[in-house]
Every structure is written in structure tokens, then in C-alpha cells.
Structure 1
Amino acid sequence: MSDPQFSVLLGPDGAGKSTVMAELAERLPTWRALSTDSAFVGPEHALVTQLRRNVVEDVLPALGGAYSVDFLASLLQTAVVHLKDRIEAQEAGVPVLVDSYYYKILAKCRLAGIEESPMYSWWRSFPQPERVIYLDVSPESAWRRSANGARLNPLEHFGTRPQWFGFENYQKSLRKLMLEEVRELPVTVIKEQPSAARTADAVLEVLAP
């Protein structure tokens, strides 16, 4: 059996991946968009949506107390395995675009303090994409999109509460680790665009030249 063919849309927090994925889903009806965002998860996989909600609402607020970083990483692995399963379940010949895959989660686990883990080796053994499209965004723009930190969760900034310098340092570190993870793959970096529509245009040029 040949490896599945797919592309990955990657980017830091606030890059607008979900918005761009939604727009691309309308413009590319023959493509399959895979993500753990609720808009892209079918009812048969409702548990994935529930677990994501539990991570944000229950685990992250109690991280370092009721829940350990290792426990958090174990839950995040369910998202990674779900995406791998959905990639492998696609019909041959159907073009697929995947939101972040395991690259962003791995980087966030490392930033949370788990520098090495047997999970990482397993994730890295998963099928690799034909290309990675990286949506760049400045920390300043991402900070504004987060309502100056009001919409952030603890996996989007350093420090006990969201502040500009903790956010900026986290996002720069996240960018470095994600690009390091995909350095052996064909990567196209799309510079920050003035709108989601323009970003989608730029992604289309890469996916369907």
C-alpha cells in the first residue's frame, strides 16, 4: 500500500488557519479538509471535539495542579492519532489538506517542558506530507487578533497569565520549533496577508498552480 498524499497547513497561534481552511473548503470542493476544529469533525468523531473542549476548559486551567504536563500531552496525542487515522482513511486520488498535523502539538509539548518523549518518535513515523504551507503572522498581529491576550489559553503564552512579552516570546519559540520539525520537507512560507481571502488566494497558488 502506497503512502497517502496530502498537504499540511501550518502556522503559529493567530495565523488564521481555521478561517483559511473554511474558505479553502468552499473554493476547493474536490479537496478534503482535515482538522480537529469542530467545523471539520463529523458526528461520528464527536469524542474528538469533546476531548478538545475538555483540554481547554478543564485541563489547561488546572495544569500543574490537578493535571500534569504528561497528562496533557497524552490527551493531545488523541488529536494527532485522529488526524493520522483520517489521512490513512482517505480514498486514493482525493487531495487532502491537514490542519497542523502533529507538528504544532509536538512543538507545544516541548514548550510545555516535555523536551523528549517516546510519543515524538511514534508521531514522526507517521506518513509525511508532500508539502507544508506555513502561514506566517507577526506576534503583534496575532496579539491584536487575540483581543490583546483576552482570548489566549495557557498553551499560547509563557507565564501564569497572558502578557505581551510572554506571548511574543512564546510565539517566536513556537515558530522556531515548528519550522525545525519540518525542515526536511518542502515548505512554502506565506507572508502575512491583509485578509483571510488574500491568504487563501496565496495558499491556492501553492495547492493548485
Structure 2
Amino acid sequence: MADFWVLLGTDYCGKSSVLADLTARAGPVEAVSYDPELLTGDYRAIAELPAALGRAYAGGRSRAYVMALLNVAVAYLHDRVVTAPAGRTPLLDSYYYKILVKCRLLGLDDGPWLPYWRSLPRPAGVVFLNVPPATAWRRSGNGARLNPLEHYGPVPDEDAFTRFQRDLRAGLLDEVSDLRVEHVPAAPDITATVDHVLRTMKE
């Protein structure tokens, strides 16, 4: 199994942009995400997963059903690690850490999946993108693009979003406190951010 890294951060911190840029560069780091635009081959079958998760949670589906969908996301990320080609270093979008913390914050903290997620292989390191909640709020279109798994309560206002993101950040850093964590500050230039991520992984 290949060594791998995790790209972590709160919602709208820029992970998708970093991973898309890495994919375009076609270098030794292999960007791994279940964002629909980054899925290839038979993995395209899960392209609707992010939207389906939001609908299932907002629609009051059972905890077992919502968490089973979340496990599909984790299983996909793990599969990309164990099937990574030689000479490529997978950089995973959040791995199970973000899902695990969100489950805790949103009351989805029971069932068989949590112990399984924690039993999965550990990354060589974590790159944490630091973005203030106010910046993330603007990137979300002032709440227009939020899904129900990105804020507290039924209404995605700035306060509900900010409180959730602050708790999410604290939970993420707690989950990876025993790993090597390298912090990358927010930067307006995505190229500079990606360069920083690559330097961090190389060092």
C-alpha cells in the first residue's frame, strides 16, 4: 500500500481547488476526492454521492442510511489508497476525519461505521488549510451553496455556519493531534497554495 497524505480543513477552505490544480499538473501527487469532477472510470458511479448525502440528511432519512452513504465515501478514499499505482502519492480529501467529526457535531455518532473508520491505515501526514470562517462564508455565496451538513440548524445563516465551522476545525485538529500536521495559510493565489502543499509533502 502506498504512503499517502490527507488534505484537511473546514468547508470552503479551498481543498477542491487545490486538488483540481494538482490533477491538472499530472505530477507524482495523485489528488483523490469524491468531488464529481475528479472521479474517473467506474468511480463515476458515485458522482451523485455528495448531493445524495445532503438530501438524505435534510430529508430525515434514518441514521443508518445516512451513515451508510458516508461509508461509501470513506470506502472510496481507502480504495484509492490501496490501489494507487507505484510512484504516486495519494493526497486524500479529508479521508474519514471530516466525516467523523461532522457525524459527532450533527448527532450521527452511533452505529458500526465509526470504529471501522478509525481502524483504517493512518496517513504519513496531514496538510491543514487554514481559512477564516468569514472567508469561507463568502466563498459559499453567503450561504447560497451550503448543504445541510455544513451548518447548525435548518437555516444556513452566517452565525449557524460560523459556529459549525469553528467546532468542526477544533474537532478536526483534535482527531489528527497525534499525526504530523502541517498548516498552510489561506492565499488568494491557488498556484501559490498548491506549491506550498507540495513543498510541505516533499519536506
- TM-score using structure 1 length: 0.90
Matched with 2:143 is 149
| Structure 1: runs of 5 or more not aligned | none
Matched with 1:50 is 48
Greater CA deviation, 45-54 or 184-193?
45-54
Letter in 1 for 2:192: R
**Counterparts of 1:44 and 1:27 in 2: how far apart (Å)?**
22
2:184 to 190, 195, 207: 190
Letter in 1 for 2:35: D
Instruction: State the shift of 1:108 in Å.
Output: 0.9
Question: Does residue 60 of the first structure (1) align with residue 54 of the second (2)?
Answer: no
1:18 to 16, 41, 57: 16
Matched with 1:34 is 32
Q: How does 1:145-184 map to 2 (within 5 A)?
A: 145-184=139-178
Instruction: State the shift of 1:117 in Å.
Output: 4.0
Letter in 1 for 2:8: L
1:120 to 89, 93, 114: 114
Quote the RMSD (CA, aligned, Å): 1.6
Count of aligned pairs between the two proteins: 203
User: 1:102-149: per-residue Cα shift (whole Å, max 9, x none)?
Assistant: 111111111110334431111111111101000011000000111111
Greater CA deviation, 123-132 or 43-52?
43-52
1:73 to 67, 70, 88: 67
User: Which aligned segments of 4 or more residues in structure 1 are displaced greater than 4 angstroms?
Assistant: none
**Counterparts of 1:75 and 1:140 in 2: how far apart (Å)?**
30
Letter in 2 for 1:39: E
- TM-score using structure 2 length: 0.93
Matched with 1:136 is 130
CA contact (8 A) 2:2 2:89 kept: no
**Counterparts of 2:111 and 2:171 in 1: how far apart (Å)?**
15
**Counterparts of 1:155 and 1:177 in 2: how far apart (Å)?**
15
CA contact (8 A) 1:17 1:99 kept: yes
| Structure 2: runs of 5 or more not aligned | none
Q: The residue matched to 2:149 in structure 1 has which SS?
A: helix
